[in-house]
Amino acid sequence: MARPQTGTAAERPSSERDVIPLYHRVYVMLLQKIMDGSYPAGSPIPSEDDLAETFSVSRVTIRKAMERLEREGRVLRQRGRGTFPLTPANEAGEPASQLLNNQISLARKTKIALLAYDFVRPSPLLAQTFDIADGMELLRIERVRGDERSPISHTLCYLPADLAPLVPRTAISSLPVSATLAAAGVKLARFEEKITAVLADSDVSPHLDVAIGTPLVAMTRHVRDEDGRLIELLQALYRPDRYEYRVQYSIDGQNLGTPWKAMITDSGAA
C-alpha cells in the first residue's frame, strides 16, 4: 500500500488534493494556531502574503481559509489593521466538547516535542483494534509534553492512514490530535478511557526524566466517530507528580456537571 504523502501541496498526489481541498488543510492549520495560542488574541495574524509563503500556497487559498475562519467567528478582519484571532465560542454543550475543552485547557499550559510522525505497519493486535486488513498502515505520532518545570507525559497516537491529510505534520501543536480532527470536521462521538499504572522502561524514562522502574500513570483512550469507527488510539504515560485525574459522583446519581477533570500539578521542581 502506498503511503499517504505529507510534503508540500505540490508534492502530494492529485487524488489526495481532490479529496481534501488545499484551502481546508490551510484552514485547519490556521485554526490550530489560533486555538493553541500561537496566534495570541490582540496580536495580528501574519499577512496573506506571509502566510502564502509559509504554507507554500497562493493568496487565493489563504483568502478562502480566512473567509471560513471569519464566518465561524474565529477571526476579526479589520481593513488597514489586519486580521485578529477571536476567542472561540463556548461549545461545552456536547459531551465530546466537554472532554475536549478540558484537554485543550490542559494542553495550552504546556508545550510539546514531536519525536516521530510516520506510517507504521501495526501489530496484529493493533490492526484488529482498528479493524483494518493485513498490510494496511497507521499514522503514528509520538510526542513528549512538558512545561518549564519538567516533562509531563509521553504519548503515542495512532490514526487510520486515510485521516493523515487532516493532521499534517505542520499542524501538530500542543493541542490534542482529537481537537485537530474535530476542527477538520470529523464528528467525534465517543471517548473510552482506561487508567492504570506501569513502571517506566528504558525507552520512556529519558523522555520523562525519571529513573527506570519509576511508577507512571498509564492512560489509554479510544476515540470513535458517529459511525462507531475507531479514529484515534492514544497511549499516554504521565509522571504521577505532574498529573492528576479527579472524578466526582453522587450516590443518588444526581448530575454534577462534568464528573471528571484531568489536571497538571505543580511538582515543586525548580
Per-residue pLDDT of the chain (270 residues; tens, 9 = 90+): 444 444 444 334 344 434 568 888 888 888 878 877 788 877 889 999 999 998 889 999 999 999 888 887 788 887 778 888 876 544 433 444 566 677 777 777 788 999 999 999 999 999 999 999 888 999 999 999 999 899 999 999 999 999 988 888 877 888 889 888 887 778 888 889 999 999 999 999 999 999 999 999 999 999 999 999 999 999 999 999 998 877 776 666 665 555 666 766 765 433
Report angle CA 136, 137, 141 to the nearest 5 degrees: 165
Which CATH topology does 95-239 take?
Chorismate lyase (3.40.1410)
- Is 0.75 topped by the overall pTM? no
What is the per-residue pLDDT for 68? 87
Domain with CATH 3.40.1410.10 in the chain: 95-239
**For 219-245, how does the pLDDT look when each residue is reduced to its tens digit (9 = 90+)?**
999 999 999 999 999 999 999 999 887
For the segment(s) 9-85, the CATH number from 1.20.58.220, 3.40.1790.10, 3.20.20.150, 1.10.10.10 is 1.10.10.10
Domain with CATH 1.10.10.10 in the chain: 9-85
**For 113-126, how does the pLDDT look when each residue is reduced to its tens digit (9 = 90+)?**
999 999 999 999 99
